[in-house]
Chains A and B, each alone.
Chain A
Amino acid sequence: ILNVEQSPQSLHVQEGDSTNFTCSFPSSNFYALHWYRWETAKSPEALFVMTLNGDEKKKGRISATLNTKEGYSYLYIKGSQPEDSATYLCASTNAGGTSYGKLTFGQGTILTVHP
């Protein structure tokens, strides 16, 4: 079983603040790192898929970076808005073992943006 860890577990910020969270994942046999956004009472929605060391992806005010050699990814939100409040999940896919080709999710970072 692979270990994907996210920190912090939860985060409270004020509207307009910029914020970032971390996802650490096994670097061996790495294939891809996925970020999802999960609003309460809805289903997880894909943000990014990154595969190459040094990858950077951006979608509006949200961006993500990837370091496959050390096994971490950062998600950044610039100028947080109340509608950014959600749980942000990362998941990795690695080859081999019982987790072959499947997404292994972290436990998520719960972001609350206060007006």
Chain B
Amino acid sequence: IAGITQAPTSQILAAGRRMTLRCTQDMRHNAMYWYRQDLGLGLRLIHYSNTAGTTGKGEVPDGYSVSRANTDDFPLTLASAVPSQTSVYFCASSPGRPYTDTQYFGPGTRLTVL
């Protein structure tokens, strides 16, 4: 059982370029999430999806977009990357009860925008 996979593992990107971070889960979880992790700021929610076909904005959504065409995949797109988007990005999923479910995290994608 793979759980949650993320790709790429790391990426260096020129500012202004478009980039999609991929996230796939095989646990048939309803809810999926994208977080960014920055030193001193902990994990901050970017976007979430409670179920396939729906998405919502988290704490820091600007500059990012997501889609949820099916249960398994939840890609995160940076339309025009900026250096402040340099971060480690974690995808997570949970069965779907929004308050009490444990979230399961992927291995992360380290993104550097120059």
Residues of A within 8 A of B (CB): 1, 31-32, 34, 42-46, 49, 51, 89, 91, 93, 95, 98-108
Contacts and interface: CB of A to CB of B under 8 A. Distances in A.
What is the interface of chain B mostly: helix, strand, loop, or mixed?
A: loop
Contacts of A108: 42
A104 B108 CA distance: 18
B45 A102 contact: yes
B40 interface: yes
Interface stretch (B13-21, B69-77, B78-86, B95-103): B95-103
7 contacts: A45-B105, A46-B104, A49-B101, A51-B100, A89-B43, A100-B98, A106-B42
B98 A107 contact: no
Contact of B100 (A49, A104, A106, A107): A49
Contacts of B40: 107
Given A89-B42, A107-B42, A108-B42, A102 B102 contact: no
Contacts of A100: 98
B99 A43 contact: no
Interface of B: 33, 35, 40-45, 48, 58-59, 90, 98-108
A49 B98 contact: no
Q: Which of A31, A34, A42, A43 has the most CB of B within 10 A?
A: A43
B46 to A, nearest CB: 11
Contact of A93 (B43, B48, B99): B99
A72 to B, nearest CB: 17
Nearest to B108: A43
A32 B42 contact: no
A107 B33 CA distance: 18
Give 4 closest A-B pairs by Cβ, nearest first.
A101-B98, A31-B99, A43-B105, A107-B42
